[in-house]
Amino acid sequence: MNAPYNTISSALNKSLIIATVAFILVVLYIAQLLMGSPWIGLQLQTTPENRGLIVKAVKHPELSGHIKAGERIDAIKSGKLPYMLLDNRALVDDPDNYPVLQEYNAAMQYNAALYARLTAAPEITVKTSTGREISFKPLVSRSLFSLSPNFWISNFTALVGLLFAAAIWAYRRQDLTTRLLFACGLFFAIASTVSAIYGSRGLAMNPDWYAFLIAINHLAMPMVAYSLLALVLIYPHRLVPFPVVVICLLIPVVLWLNTLAQWTDLPFHTFYLGMMLAFLGGIPPSIQQWRLSKHKPLERAALMWMLLSIYIASGCEIFLYLVPTIFGHAPALPLWAAQLIFLPLYIGFIMGVFRYRLFDVERWWLLSWHWVLSGLLIIGIDLLLVSVLHLQALGALSVAMILVAWLYFPLRQWLWRHLGQTPEAHLENHIHDFIKIFLGAKQQDDFKQHWLTLLQQVFSASSVEIAGGVIASPKIGEQGMNLLIPGINGDYHIDLYGKHHSSRLFSKQDITLAATLNELATHTKTLQQAKEQGANLERNRIMRDLHDDVGANLVSMIYRAHDKAETELARETLTLLRETIYTLDDKAVTRLSLAIAKWRQETQQRCLAADVCLEWEVGQIPSLHELDARQLVNLGRVLRETLTNALKHAQPKHFSARFWEQAGKLHILLAHDGNVTSPQKWIEGKGIPGMRTRIHELHGEIDWALTDRLETRLSVPLHRKTGDENHA
C-alpha cells in the first residue's frame, strides 16, 4: 500500500541529491575561476559624480602603505596601453540596466578595455585624484573569502530555488503546472547564479565570459516572468488552450534573440519591457481565476496564496529594481537583495499551491496587499516627482508620503467599507442572541436546536450537523472546510461546514471564538441547570403542600357537604386544584389521543346533563403526538369555558368539536347553534380574555366567527413528540 508513496519519496530524494551535488560542483568551479582571475586587490565603490572609484578597503599586501581607504583612483594603464579613465560603469551590477543597445554595447566595450589593461602586462599603474601614480602587480589569485557576500547570497537563493524546482518536478512530473513551476525555479536559479558570477568580477572580467553569462541571464529572467504568466493562465482553471501556453513560453526566446542579434531597441527599455508586459498581462487572467473560484474555498485559498506570492515578489522586483532603472535612476535595491526578497515568497508560493494549510491566508493576504500597495505608491509617486518635477530626493519622498497618507489611506478605508469586506465573526455581535437562547430554551432539545442555529449564524456556515463522538476542544477538519465543536453535556460534537457559505476557510481565530463560545455555553448551561434544580425543588414543595393540605381539605368538604350543589362545587374545585398541580410538573406529558378522549368524556357528560346533542370528530392526528402539562390544562380549560358559555348564555341544541393536525399545529373547531349575537358586539368579561390569554401562552391563535352557528377556532403548535416517533 505504501509503494506509490515510497516511489515518489525516492524520486524526490534522488532529485534533491542530484540537484544539490550538481549545483555545489558548479559553484565551486565558478569560485575557482573567479579566484584564478587577475585581481588588483582593492575593494572599490562608485562615486556620486561618476568620476573615478573610491577605495573602500586595501587587500593587496604591496599597496597597504601606498593607498589608503577613501582615496579616489581616476585612471588605470598597463604596458603600451594608455591611461583609461575609471567611472561607475566598472562596478555596475548588471549592464542590462542600460535601456538601449548602444549604451549596453558601450558598457561591454568598457569592460573589455579594462580587462585588456589588467592582462596586457605583468604590472599595472593607477593614478589617484591627487595625481600620484602607483605601479604594482595584480594578484594572480584570490582567496575564497575575498569573494563578496553578494556572491554567496545570490548562490544561496539560486540553490534554494533549484531545490524547490526539483522537488516539485519530482512530485508530479507529468503535470503541466509542476512543469511550469520547475521552469520558473530552474531559470530563477540560473539567473541568480550567473548574476552572482559577473557581479563578483572585481574591476573587470574576460569579455567572452562576460558576454556569455549576460546572454544566459537575458533568457533566464524573462523565462521566470513568462512561466509565472503561463501558470496564471492554467491554474486553477485552464483559461487558454495548450498552444497559447507554448506561445507564452516562446516570447522570452524571441526577446532573447532580439538582444543577442541586436535587431532593434524596444520602447521604454530594451531588456526590461518584456518582464513588465508579463507582469501586467497576468492581471486580467488573475481576476478571472478569482471569479471562477468564488464558491470553492479550498481552491480560492490556494489561488490567493499563489497570487500573493507572484504579485508581491514580482511587484517588489519591478517597482524596486526595474521601474527606477526605466526612469533613469539607480535601482532602489542591489540585484542580490532583489533576489533575496523574491526567494521567500517563491517558497511560500510553492507551499501554498500544494499543501493548502492556509487557515490565516486571507488576513495575511489582505494586510500584505495593503502594506505592499502603500509602499509601492510611495515609491512610484517619489519617482514621478523626481523625474517630472525634478524635486530633490528627500523633498520628493516627503511629498509622496503626504499624498499617500492624505489620499490613498482614506480612499482605501472607504473602499474597504463599501466594496464588500466580509466581516469576521465576533462574540460581541451575537451576545444578545446567545443570552436569548440560553435563557429561553425550556427543554434540552430546544436548547440544542437553538445552539446549532446560533453557531451556524455566527460562522455563516453552509450546514451544521450533530455527529457522534466526543472531542475535547474545537478543531479544524478537511483542510479548513469543517469546524468541529464539542457538544455541551452530551456524547456528541457539532460539525460546521463551509464558512461564509463555503466562500472561505475556517481559521485559527475561528477555533478561538468557538472555544470561547463553547466554554461560555457550558458554564451558562451549568448555571441554568442549577437554577432549574432549585426551581424544581421549590415547585415540588408547593405541589406537596397543595396536594396534602388543600387537597385534603377539599376532600373533607365533599363528604361534609349538605346538598348536591355544594358537593359538585367542591368536586370541581378539587379537579381544578389537581390540574393546577399538574401544570407545575414541567416534565409531565400526555399523549394527545388520550387527552382528546378525556375531553370528550367530560364534554359528553355535561351535554347529556343539559340535553344537548354532541358531535365529536377527530381528523388526521398522529397517534404519538404529546402535550405538555401547560398545553393539556390550557386547552382543556378553553374547551370547558367554551361549553360553559354556550350552555349558560345560548341554550344550544347541538354542540360540535372537531380536531385535526396540519403543518405541525393542532387545530380545534368548536361550534354550537345557540342564540348569540355577533362577536363584534360582545362585551367581554373575564371568560373571553382568559381564553385568549391561555391560548397565547401556548403561542397559538384563537378567534370567533358567526355564520349559521357560532364558531370558536383555535390552533396551537405541536412541538413535542415521543421518542418512538422521532426514530420512526
253 with 219: CB under 8 angstroms?
yes
Determine the pLDDT at residue 164: 74
Flag whether pLDDT at 469 surpasses 90.
no
Q: Which CATH number fits domain 41-143: 2.30.42, 1.10.3470, 2.40.160, 3.30.450?
A: 2.30.42
pLDDT at 272 over 80: yes
Q: In the prediction, which pLDDT does 377 show?
A: 57
Q: Is the pTM of this model over 0.85?
A: no
> Cα–Cα distance between 659 and 390 in angstroms, integer?
92
**353-370 pLDDT, tens digit each:** 555 443 343 444 344 445
The pLDDT value recorded for residue 41 is 80
CATH of 3-19+148-358, one of 3.30.470.20, 3.30.530.20, 1.20.1070.10, 3.40.47.10: 1.20.1070.10
Of 663, 626, 312, 192, the C-alpha closest to 443 is 626
Instruction: Tell me the domain boundaries of the chain.
Output: 3-19+148-358, 41-143, 360-421, 447-587, 589-726
Question: Are 3-19+148-358 and 41-143 the same fold in CATH?
Answer: no
By C-alpha distance, which of 195, 197, 186 is closest to 162?
186
pLDDT tier at 7 (50, 70, 90 boundaries)?
very low
How does residue 476 score in pLDDT terms, banded at 50, 70 and 90? Answer: confident
Structural contact between residues 55 and 41, judged by C-beta atoms closer than 8 angstroms = no
Confidence of residue 252 (pLDDT cuts 50, 70, 90): very high
Rounded Cα distance, 152 and 162, in Å: 15
* Mean of pLDDT values over 94-119: 89
| Residue linked to cell 509503494 | 3
Please state the rounded mean pLDDT for residues 1-16. 47
pLDDT for residue 26 is more than 80? no
Question: Is cis: bond before 236, omega within 30 of 0?
Answer: yes
Q: What is the DSSP string of 653-677?
A: SEEEEEEEEETTEEEEEEEE-S---
| pLDDT tens string 190-207 | 888 888 888 877 788 889
**Do residues 322 and 225 touch, judged by C-beta distance below 8 A?**
no
Determine whether domain 589-726 maps to CATH 3.40.30.10.
Answer: no
pLDDT of residue 369: 43
Residue bearing the bigger pLDDT, 402 or 76: 76
Q: pLDDT (tens digit, 9 = 90+) per residue, 299-347? A: 777 777 778 788 888 888 888 888 888 887 778 777 777 777 777 666 6
% of the chain with per-residue pLDDT over 70: 70
Candidates 337, 383, 364, 454; CA nearest to 93 is 337
Contact criterion met (CB below 8 Å) for 117 and 126: no
The mean predicted confidence, pLDDT, of the chain is 77
Q: How confident is the model at residue 174 (pLDDT cuts 50, 70, 90)?
A: confident
| pLDDT attached to residue 558 | 64
The model's pLDDT over 536-593, given as tens digits with 9 standing for 90+, comes to: 676 666 656 665 556 566 566 666 666 766 676 666 666 665 666 555 566 678 888 8
Question: What distance in Å separates the CA atoms of residue 228 and residue 254, rounded to the nearest whole number?
Answer: 17
